[in-house]
Structure 1
Amino acid sequence: MPETGYLAVFLIGLLGGTHCVSMCGGIVGALSVQVQTPGSRGRQWPIHLAYNLGRITTYVVIGSLLGALGSVGMLYDGVLPVQITLYVLANLMLIALGLYLTGFTRLLVPVERAGHMLWRRIQPATRRFLPARSVKQALPLGLLWGFLPCGLVYSILATALVTGSATRGAGLMLAFGLGTLPNLMLAGMLFKRFRDLTRNGKVRFASGLLVLGFGVFGLFHAPSLGGQLWSGIVCTI
């Protein structure tokens, strides 16, 4: 049975799917169009799966690096204050994301804009794999696309710092990536219908409230670093 913390992160990835589709929907939609040739319908699943495997792999690697970085920070005196500070920051990011999805605020836009500095350097390399008509092209495309500036991803990466472990940081991002997988696979296979659904104001509002709830719960339980909800992720040394 999975630890409750990893299950919580999986659910955040699943619930935040409306944001995932808005950020990555363009590329998965393009993949759908590019493989729509006579007799090629059966090739869609492998191409979309390869793309998402690459994307999730990038999340896992970055999560591992941030988890390791968090462990270095916690070697200093006063480990608990450091953990609580990072934990509060991570949950504030979740609250901002929830408010972003509901349409109340666009607080995460500056964060995503800051990430564009790195993305501007990476994006030109994606052109080498477009149009992606095979798994060999889709996999590296997904690896690069994993660096796309995204407030949802950044919110979970902030939590990876709190894990204080490269292994837990990687596991956290794997759980999150798997949570985003159903939305992006559906967006790829049923692009127009699913895009219209995720743009529905009521759907985005409901998703935002649920993600907001995770952040508020986390802040309320900050003294115990999330209590049972984040069990298995946050190490209370």
Structure 2
Amino acid sequence: MTEYGFYLTAFLIGLGGSVHCLGMCGGIAGSLLFSATPNVGRTQLLLSYNFGRIFSYSLMGLILGFVSEKWLLQIQESLVYLRYLGAMMLLLMGLYISQIWQGLRHFEKLFMPFFTPLKILSKRFLPLTNPLKAIPYGMLWGWLPCGLIYSTLAWSMSAGSAIHSALTMCFFGLGTLPGLIAISLTTDTLKNLLRHPLTKKVVGFFVFTYGIVLLYLT
């Protein structure tokens, strides 16, 4: 799979997983507006929050991509294993997005205790008196335990370099934007489209098919 294939698939994973984001992260994004002072613009606040969140995703990809590039990929056999891992992650995420299998939710329960200190720290930025405070607030919430995020992160390690892994996670974050902005601004048409069973099935099928192709090429 080329790097462009990684980016497109990551974007679609984020887009298809927006339904999950609506329930898990949407409440955070929605409450963000209520925690702001009246003089802060909603658009600037949401953009700043999502910038911080996507920055954290990209940073995760950069860190694990660096580990993969500098150590794991130096061992020839590990490249094959990473590709298999990436393919398996795509298959699982395809099933997850299609809502055929929801096992990725178990990852969230495992990592939730580690997020408690970050959750406490995030309260220091409230109330949001200006958009700049929403950036670190979004960065902290970007580490929210989410099976979809961590599975995409594991898959991104097979991208081949730290930069490609970071960009893969960046495009994943961009894919989640429509859903989160829709729920924050109560855009019913877009929310209904993302929640539609056909949308989830189509995106899930695309991601699952990419996983099969990657397995075949490996």
Structure 2 CA distance for partners of 1:10 and 1:100, relative to 1, 3 Å: closer
Alpha-carbon distance in structure 2 between the residues aligned to 1:177 and 1:8:
12
| Correspondent of 1:186 among 182, 189, 203 | 182
The superposition leaves residues 47-104 of structure 1 with CA deviations (integer Å, 9 ceiling, x where unpaired) of: 000000000110111100111111111112xx2x423322232332333333334443
Structure 2 CA distance for partners of 1:133 and 1:95, relative to 1, 3 Å: farther
TM-score w.r.t. length of structure 2: 0.85
Shift of residue 208 of structure 1?
4.7
1:120 aligns with 2:119: no
The letter of the residue matching 2:7 is: Y
Alpha-carbon distance in structure 1 between the residues aligned to 2:94 and 2:161:
27
Alpha-carbon distance in structure 1 between the residues aligned to 2:98 and 2:10:
19
Q: How many residues align?
A: 215
Alpha-carbon distance in structure 1 between the residues aligned to 2:168 and 2:191:
30
TM-score w.r.t. length of structure 1: 0.79
| Correspondent of 2:104 among 108, 112, 121 | 108
1:99 aligns with 2:95: yes
> Which residues in structure 2 correspond to 1:1-237 (within 5 Å)?
3-35=4-36, 37=38, 40=39, 43-71=41-69, 72-76=71-75, 79=76, 81-190=77-186, 193=188, 197=192, 200=195, 203-204=196-197, 206-225=199-218
Give structure 1 stretches of 5+ with no counterpart. 226-237
- Quick check: 1:55–1:146 contact (8 Å CA) kept in 2? yes
| 3-state secondary structure, aligned to 2:25 | helix
- Quick check: 1:59–1:146 contact (8 Å CA) kept in 2? yes
Alpha-carbon distance in structure 1 between the residues aligned to 2:167 and 2:54:
11
Alpha-carbon distance in structure 2 between the residues aligned to 1:198 and 1:125:
35
The sequence identity of aligned pairs, in percent, is 32
The letter of the residue matching 1:131 is: P
- Quick check: 1:163–1:169 contact (8 Å CA) kept in 2? yes
The letter of the residue matching 2:110 is: A
Alpha-carbon distance in structure 2 between the residues aligned to 1:194 and 1:128:
35
Alpha-carbon distance in structure 1 between the residues aligned to 2:87 and 2:212:
6
Structure 1 outlier segments of 4+, above 4 Å:
none
